[in-house]
Amino acid sequence: MSKTTPARAGARLIVATLLIAVSSFALPAKEDFPPEWIERGDAAFAERFEQERMIEAIAAYEAVLPGIESLTIEAQAHLLNRLAQLHYELTTFTPGNTQEDESVFQKGKEYGFASLRLNPEFAALEEDDFDAAVAAVTDPAALLWTADNWGALLDYNPISGFLYLGRAGPSTRDASPSTRRTGAQVRTTPSVRC
């Protein structure tokens, strides 16, 4: 049996409260779906440094997800990139990068990869040649927030990241299924075509 420190218990309570609050927002009625919810998300996003507004932004954007395929590719990327960013930033309301933050970073990483896969070239290359897939990325926001969430999952530390530049390999815990299967090297400084 492990001991739970008061700080850890407090962190768990904060993360649990944030996740419950995000999931408790009501889904939109059919008649105001999706443009009004995207606008609500954008308005709350602009004030995301207040915890309540960040939770509202996440809830509004996630309410659009069931109909995301009806949006343009650009609108889908906007929505998924914002969700990846918000999930990364959501942990600023916790005492620090705790194990409880892991599910938040995981969800952010999943939104980021969903945005990256909107690029047909990335989607086609991802399984066989991850380096080439990353080189094909044309959306820097998708790459940034995917990498930030993934890095947080890998306990990313900027100093050690520079020390191990070029030597980073896949993590067996958090690597994408394609890098776990193939053992492909994951570059820490991917090429981005803008």
Residue 67 CB: number of other CB atoms within 10 A?
13
Domain that holds residue 32: 6-182
Number of domains forming the structure of the chain: 1
Is 27 domain-assigned? Answer: yes
Give the model confidence (pLDDT) of 99-137 as tens digits.
778 889 999 999 999 999 999 999 999 999 999 999 999
Q: Cα separation of 49 and 78, whole Å?
A: 19
pLDDT at residue 9, rounded to an integer: 52
Give the model confidence (pLDDT) of 145-182 as tens digits.
999 998 888 875 555 555 545 444 443 334 433 333 33
Indicate if the pLDDT at residue 14 is higher than 70: no
- What are the tokens at 91? 């942990």
pLDDT tier at 86 (50, 70, 90 boundaries)? Answer: very high
Lowest mean pLDDT across 52-66, 67-81, 106-120, 151-165: 151-165
**Rounded to an integer, what is the distance from CA 44 to the centroid of its chain?**
18
Contact 45, 86 (CB under 8 A): yes
Of the two residues 91 and 171, the one the predictor is more confident about is 91
Q: Is the peptide bond before 6 cis (omega within 30 degrees of 0)?
A: no
Is 187 domain-assigned? Answer: no
Is 13 domain-assigned? Answer: yes
Q: Cα separation of 186 and 168, whole Å?
A: 6
Mean of per-residue pLDDT scores for the chain: 75
Q: For 13-33, what is the mean pLDDT?
A: 49
Tell which phi-psi region holds residue 137, choosing left (phi > 0), alpha (psi between -120 and 50) or beta.
beta
Q: For 18-25, what is the mean pLDDT?
A: 50
Between the alpha carbon of residue 77 and those of residues 51, 90, 103, 117, the distances in Å are 24, 19, 22, 10
Between the alpha carbon of residue 88 and those of residues 12, 35, 65, 130, 163, the distances in Å are 17, 24, 18, 23, 24
Q: Cα separation of 140 and 13, whole Å?
A: 34
pLDDT cut 70: percent of the chain above it: 62
